[in-house]
Amino acid sequence: MPPLSSAYEATQLMASPLAPTPVAQRAAVQIIAGTTPGLTGEMSSLLASRLRNVALVLSVGFIVFTVLGLFDVDGLTTMWHRAQWWTHLGVTMLLMLIAWRLCVRCTHAIASLRVVEFLIFASTTFEFFFNTNVAQIETAPLGFLINPVHPWIVLIFIYALYIPTTWQRAVQILGPITGLAVLATWLPSLLRPEVARVLTEQPIFVSVLANQSLAIVFSAGVAVWGVRTIGLLRREAYEARQIGQYRLKKLLGKGGMGEVHLAEHVLLRRPCAIKLIAASKAGDPQALARFEREVQATARLTHWNTIEIYDYGRTADGIFYYVMEYLPGMNLQQIVERHGPLEPARVIHLLTQVCDALQEAHQHGMVHRDIKPANIFSAYRGGVHDVAKLLDFGLVRDQFSKATDLGLTQEGLITGSPLFMSPEQASGDTPDARSDIYSLGIAAYYLLSGRVPFDADTPIKVILAHAQQPVPPLSVPDLEVPADLEAVVLKCLEKRPDDRLQSASELRDALALCGDAGQWSRDKADLWWTDCGCPEKKALDAEVCEMVC
């Protein structure tokens, strides 16, 4: 599986800092079936984690008491204490086995987890019930009664605090536990004459046992109320993380225009990415127009090398969003930054796909105007690595748009990324498809060499260099680029648009004639992504595991 980008499409969002944006605090949602909101997927993982923790905590506590029992030599000589010690040991081993199984397995069905929940609390209840009876039977001959009520209260609150459930289910579980706790308090006096004699001779113990019984019942009531309160808070948090039918799972990136979240359709269970416009931009007509234009422009394109748009809308409280396919992988800027320049064959393989995507956009009269490595994604799609995806049509302009539309993108400023900007963009002229060819040539230059041809300490110096300075050669003493591929790249970087390759299809054909064309195979891509050593691969594996669970 390929690495997971921690900021997919976020590189173009990072233009300016952005405070965290409130996300659809009261968006209308439909809670899916389950014993608690969303008790599938993430909630099943949460339940498994909580049950594992409960089993570990209880088993550690039981181990301590089991070991202490070994040092009570006198106590182990009695039948009741020996039975108590063996009960401790048996329940401890069961809890340790449960904790181990929950630690080593990745997926857990809800029904199986409920069985595990029953085993944990049923075995612990049995142990406490037996221990309560033994304590009274052992102390009655001495003329007083010990009734260990504290373990019962601890068990009740462990369930309430650890187990995600509804208050109705909490009543079903805590009701029997509470009933058995009260029964254990009074049962020895009904079955053992020595215990009944203590209560008769010393009525103070009747009052003590009654108070302890009330304490257990009161604790159970508080615990159920706490479960209800936690459930309401969980539901509010769950709803706050949803927009329409999409549940937000993780923030991927944020910037001046808004946020990008990893999300999941609650019914289809399909992972996707949601782009939200920042609250600070929600009242800006130009920002909203750009946002809507990006959606509409991208949705008009159907090529598989262009990112796919699933949905678009606005929540009741004014949050604008659109939903796009989620791309496991990394953008090309991230790949070069972490692993250095790419092989020429791989560059040809990726750029050929981008040319196909651009060709469709240009045929629709659309100019991207922001081609750069950060906007080209190497994704894992359909079991195939290195599937190029063209992102972020936020600066796209229809070549045939009316003059009234020009102000939406210009805003009195030059648009685009200075490091990858064509000379005509730098001079403020209206760009056409050949401007995208220039920007794609800069991207190819960067992918092959790990550097851009023009760089400076200020954007204006970079812009002037694009317009005035000759392009430095790609090949240098420590880096040799095939001459035919270098010639294609330099042809894209001619200052005059008429001197460049004139279309994306012409660039694709020129790349196909290079000696390294067709040399980057699916097997090579699989091997690179498997052996690249990226930490994002582990993150992706964990993400896939979470989605499956």
Furthest CA-CA distance within the chain: 111
Q: What is the pLDDT of residues 2-50, one digit of tens each?
A: 444 433 344 334 333 333 333 333 333 332 223 333 444 456 777 888 8
Q: Percentage of the chain with pLDDT > 90? A: 13
Q: Which of 83-87, 91-95, 426-430, 499-503 has the lowest mean pLDDT?
A: 426-430
> What is the pTM for the complete model shown?
0.56
Cα separation, 481 vs 475, in Å, equals 5
Residue 395 predicted with pLDDT over 70: no
Residue 238 predicted with pLDDT over 60: no
Q: What's the pLDDT score for residue 211?
A: 93
Q: What's the pLDDT score for residue 70?
A: 60
Please check whether residue 315 is in contact with residue 27, taking contact to mean a CB–CB distance below 8 angstroms.
yes
Q: What's the pLDDT score for residue 541?
A: 44
Residue carrying structure tokens 């009701």: 175
Residue 288 predicted with pLDDT over 80: no
Q: What's the pLDDT score for residue 186?
A: 92
Q: What's the pLDDT score for residue 403?
A: 35
Respond yes or no: is residue 370 known to be catalytic.
yes
Residue 77 predicted with pLDDT over 60: no
Please check whether residue 95 is in contact with residue 117, taking contact to mean a CB–CB distance below 8 angstroms.
no
Q: For the residues 140-151, what does the mean pLDDT come to?
A: 85
Mean pLDDT for the chain overall: 77
Q: What is the pLDDT of residues 297-347, one digit of tens each?
A: 778 888 889 888 888 877 766 677 888 888 888 888 888 988 888 889 999
Q: Three-state DSSP class for 416?
A: coil
Residue 79 predicted with pLDDT over 50: yes
Q: For the residues 196-214, what does the mean pLDDT come to?
A: 90
- Residue 436, classified by CB atoms within 10 Å of its CB into exposed (0-12), middle (13-18) or buried (19+), is buried
Among candidate residues 72, 311, 317, 370, the one labeled active-site is 370
Cα separation, 292 vs 286, in Å, equals 10
